[in-house]
Amino acid sequence: MITVDFHRLDLQPGHKILDIGCGTGRHTCAAYALEKVMAVGADVDMADIREARRRLLLHDQLGEHGGGSWSVATADINGLPFKNHAFDLVICSEVLEHLPDETRAVREIIRVLKPGKNLVVSVPRYGPEALCWLLSKEYHTASNGHVRIYRSRQVTALLENAGVQKWSSHFAHSLHTPYWWLKCLVGPSRQDSAAVNLYHRFLTWDMMQKPLFTRWLDKLLNPLLGKSVVLYFKK
């Protein structure tokens, strides 16, 4: 499930890309597919880093990469172990809504970005997220859960006040929004809901097969139901 539109970014061979809060490496692997870039995945969760590493090694085995290089690291976004101006692109996808100290994290991701280069931030969109909170207290009170709901203008102000300028945005993953509403309605931790499990099978099929109809439907519904808002900034 790729949230960032890499086609909007002028990425060249030799560029260094940081995926901070990479989780199991979805965007790190997508970046590694670009021509001769260096993709770095970093996350505070060691189990996620192990899975990201496993996925990247699988890409190596299958030859599904752009001929560049990759690395992974355990790192806290509030104190990144990288030099100033180290990266040509920083991706921070679905991370800020989890952080008590968002301001410190934003300073760090901008610090490691080169001047004139791009930062991509995505967070859950206000409307779909607010309904999830309304349907289920467990959804946002779980361990490492969401601590706030953002409006797009709030994220933009937060980032622009820290030294970057927004130049584009879009919504993503409209087909995932009803899944999360349904999951919250029956209970986020419940595993035996036939409806939720069936919808999950559909989403997995969609991500693996990428049929043209669902790609078109997702794009059509994103302005209305997009689960994430994706914001593009330049330092």
Q: Are 84 and 107 a contacting pair, CB within 8 Å?
A: no
Q: Write the CB contacts of 141 (distance below 8 Å, at least 6 apart in sequence).
A: none
Q: Is 94 a catalytic residue?
A: yes
Q: Are 6 and 89 a contacting pair, CB within 8 Å?
A: no
Q: Which residue has the tokens 């920083």?
A: 90
130 — phi, psi (to 5°)?
A: -60, -40
Give me the catalytic one of 35, 64, 94, 97: 94
Q: Which residue has the tokens 């260096």?
A: 38
d(CA 145, CA 167): 29
d(CA 50, CA 41): 11
d(CA 75, CA 228): 24
Which residue intervals of 136-186 are DSSP H helices? 137-141, 152-160, 177-186
What are the catalytic residues? 94
